[in-house]
């Protein structure tokens, strides 16, 4: 149940990031959003899902 809720949360965040990147022509946000959308299908452990999802979400806000 926890993995399902986490997967839905990270997929929702990915959808928002992807739409933001597409609207503003930010390729990095589109790629990270796409990965956030897809990775919950491949990771079933809640701890790993949380770790990967948080790293991806933080990487959205780090500017280079």
pLDDT at 34: 95
pLDDT band at 1 (very low <50, low <70, confident <90, very high): confident
State phi, psi for 42 to the nearest 5 degrees. -105, -15
Quick: pLDDT tens for 7-40: 999 999 999 999 999 999 999 999 999 999 999 9
Instruction: Provide the token pair at 9.
Output: 């949360």
Rounded to two decimals, what is the model's pTM?
0.87
- Tally the domains of the chain: 1
Contact 17, 39 (CB under 8 A): no
Question: Residue 64 — pLDDT band, cuts 50, 70, 90?
Answer: low
Q: Identify the domain containing residue 22 by its residue range.
A: 2-61
Which pLDDT belongs to residue 2? 86
The answer to whether 20 touches 29, Cβ cutoff 8 Å, is yes
């Amino acid at each position: 149940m926890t993995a399902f809720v986490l997967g839905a949360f990270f997929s929702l965040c990915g959808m928002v990031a992807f739409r933001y990147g597409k609207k503003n022509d930010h390729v990095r946000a589109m790629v990270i959003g796409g990965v956030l959308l897809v990775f919950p299908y491949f990771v079933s452990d809640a701890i790993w899902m949380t770790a990967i999802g948080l790293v991806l979400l933080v990487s959205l806000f780090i500017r280079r």
